Amino acid sequence: MTLSRRSILGRTLAGLAVFGLASPTHAKMAGKSVAVIGAGMAGLAAAGALARAGADVTIYEARTRIGGRVLTSTLWPDLPCDLGASWIHGPIGNPIKKLAKAAGAATVRTRYESSAAFAGGKTVYNEIDPWEWTEVARVAAMRAPADMSLKDALIAQRVMKVKTATDIEVLAANVHLAIEHEYGGDWGSLSARYFDMGEEFAGEDVLFPEGYGALATYAAKGLTIKTGAEVTRLTPLDKGVKIEFEGGQSIRADAAIVTLPLGVLQSGRVAFDQPLARKRQAAIDTLGMGLLNKVFLRFDKELDLPAVDWFEKLDAPRKLFPEWVNLAHVLGAPALLGFNAAASADDLERASDNETASAATDALRAMFGSRFPAPIASQITRWRADPLALGSYSFHAVGAAKSARDDLAGGDWDGRVVFAGEACSADHPSTVHGAWMSGLEAAREV
Ligand SMILES: Cc1cc2nc3c(=O)[nH]c(=O)nc-3n(C[C@H](O)[C@H](O)[C@H](O)COP(=O)(O)OP(=O)(O)OC[C@H]3O[C@@H](n4cnc5c(N)ncnc54)[C@H](O)[C@@H]3O)c2cc1C
């Protein structure tokens, strides 16, 4: 997720340990075999907690690396680039902050207030803040007989007094920048009732100058992890569960923790040999898998830019690279990080690397003038095309029940499979800490 300018509720989870089960019973877990599917933050949290409680745990990961949607590129050795998650959103009371501390990972603060908006090559003040209207839209949707999309609710409520197609375009562009960039879903798909359900930890966001991946590496220490092991099928047995892999091999375990991304669950790439509980299947079918992509641009010299953390581009095309992190200011690096989200990010994934880097450069020139230098290198993500993610993170889509994330989380097949992962976190969806806490919760359930 990129940003959250909403008021911060801040809530600590009393009694939720960073690493372990709240009250592990070694005797109960000893000898119990647990297969954890996926070595992202949910899988690592679950496996760590169970291993410490005495279970015989193995993580099976399809990729040749761990971390999942936490991925630090070392292509530029002097500038590690986080291609997946960047920030701890709200470090106060956040278990990921504690993990970072334990791992000895340095952090750098970024502030949303430290931002500048540009139009026509000049700094401007963007007085439109769609967050002001989302509550109006939510109340209207709650009163309606059925949920509706955020788009329909905002237009029906005539926020900004929209009348013409141009008014709607301006509204759409502002919703895109403020809301679609955070949730990854199109405003025509986000649920007006529930799209921003959840809690937030307090404190200013921090990122990792040396890369988020260090936390996954730290969390994986001492765990048994089999990489290159793509699960294709799960079958319930009289006792336990059978897990089959690409290539035909299989294993048995007393229980499996499934941390597959929502996109993978929706795709049917992994077969469940017995139907899942109806509410769980409904949650899989109705929650949305959103998209946020990043483009890192590197320059051959220092950049002469305003000393702020964030840039917003209000020039047309408004939905192409509207938001940037000024890495020159944040990290002192000759680099910038641009974002695309939701439907426009899906469109851009189809462009070549050259076309994407050139669109990003055009966006910078719209903000800073035609003489802004061309980058010497770029790194571009395409999370939708990644078959082991099929998107960036989940969002609450119109049509998904209020309880969809709780419906998805937890045990099925009489506890032989337990679901975890960011999409299972009702309080902190779409985040690293949500994934981590859901992994701990699944371990507790096993
Ligand atoms: C571009 C981007 C930016 C983000 N920014 C932030 C941020 O700043 N802060 C934040 O808190 N969150 C952010 N997030 C969200 C965060 O990265 C995720 O919520 C979190 O990492 C998800 O963890 P997970 O364990 O649930 O899933 P994953 O990390 O996806 O782990 C699931 C694992 O399952 C594996 N797998 C898939 N299929 C199979 C199979 N068939 N067999 C075996 N293994 C399989 C995958 O390879 C993966 O390793 C961002 C995400 C993206 C993509």
Q: What is the rounded distance in angstroms from the CA atom of residue 128 to the CA atom of residue 245? A: 51
Q: How far, in Å, CA of 428 to CA of 438, rounded?
A: 9
- Model confidence at 16: pLDDT above 60: no
pLDDT, tens digit, for every residue of 133-176?
999 999 999 999 999 999 999 999 887 787 888 888 889 999 99
> Among residues of the chain, what percentage have pLDDT more than 70?
94
Residues paired with residue 323 on neighbouring β-strands, in sequence order: 312, 339
The candidate with the shortest Cα–Cα distance to 220, out of 110, 12, 70, 342, is 70
pLDDT at 13 over 50: no
39 Cβ closer than 6 Å to some ligand 1 atom: yes
Cβ of residue 60 lying under 6 Å from some atom of ligand 1 = yes
Residue 250 Cα to ligand 1 middle (Å): 24
400-406: average pLDDT: 98
Q: Quick one: pLDDT band at residue 58, thresholds 50, 70, 90?
A: very high
**Residue 68 CB less than 6 A away from ligand 1:** yes
Mean pLDDT of 224-239: 97
Mean pLDDT of the chain: 93
State if residue 184 touches ligand 1 by the CB under 6 angstroms criterion: no
Q: Would you state the pLDDT for residue 382? A: 98
Evaluate if residue 65 carries a pLDDT over 80: yes
What is the Å distance from ligand 1's center to 73 Cα?
15
Supply 406's token pair. Answer: 């709780």
pLDDT higher than 50, residue 103: yes
Does the C-beta of 225 come closer than 6 Å to ligand 1? no
Mean pLDDT of 407-412: 98
pLDDT average, residue stretch 314-338: 95
Which mutation among 69, 199, 431 tests ligand 1's pocket best, with the greatest number of atoms within 8 A of CB?
69
What pLDDT is recorded for position 270?
98
| Amino acid identity at 276 | L
Mutate to test the pocket of ligand 1, among 73, 295, 432, 433 (most ligand atoms within 8 A of CB): 432
What's the angle, vertex CA 172, arms to CA 324 and CA 308, rounded to 5? 20
pLDDT at 19: 57
Q: Is the pLDDT of residue 17 over 50?
A: no
* The pLDDT of residue 62 is above 90: yes
Condensed to tens digits (0 to 9), the pLDDT of residues 105-126 reads: 999 999 999 999 999 899 998 8
- Ligand 1 pocket residue status of 42, Cβ below 6 Å: yes
pTM of the full structure:
0.95
Nearest CA to ligand 1 atom 31: 40
Q: Which pLDDT band, with edges at 50, 70 and 90, does 21 fall under?
A: low
- End-to-end Cα spacing for the chain: 29
Q: What pLDDT is attached to residue 22?
A: 46
| The two structure tokens encoding residue 144 | 């309606």
Question: Would you say the CB of residue 361 lies under 6 angstroms from ligand 1?
Answer: no
Token digits for 18? 């960073």
Q: CB within 8 A of 15, min separation 6: which ones?
A: 22
d(CA 391, CA 382): 8
Higher pLDDT, 27 or 386: 386
Please give the Cα distance from 294 to 52 (Å, whole number).
36
pLDDT in tens, 436-446: 999 999 999 99
Q: What is the average per-residue pLDDT within 309-336?
A: 95
Rounded to whole angstroms, how far apart are CA atoms 65 and 249? 20
Inform me whether the pLDDT recorded for 2 exceeds 90.
no
Task: Check whether 220 has a pLDDT greater than 50.
Answer: yes
pLDDT band of 294, cuts 50, 70, 90: very high
Q: Which of 393, 437, 438, 441 most suits a substitution to test ligand 1, by most atoms within 8 Å of the C-beta?
A: 393
> What are the tokens at 79?
């500038």
Q: Answer whether residue 242 shows pLDDT above 60.
A: yes
Does the Cβ of 418 fall within 6 Å of ligand 1?
A: no
359-387 confidence digits (pLDDT tens): 999 999 999 999 999 999 999 999 999 99
Examine the pLDDT at 1 and tell me if it is beyond 90.
no
- The DSSP-derived string for 115-152 is EEEEETTEEE-----THHHHHHHHHHHHHSSS--BHHH
Separation of 264 CA from ligand 1 center, angstroms?
A: 11
Give yes or no for residue 86 CB within 6 A of ligand 1. Answer: yes
Give the largest Cα separation in the chain, rounded.
Answer: 69
For ligand 1, atom 52, the nearest C-alpha belongs to: 84
Decide whether any atom of ligand 1 lies within 6 Å of the 44 Cβ: no
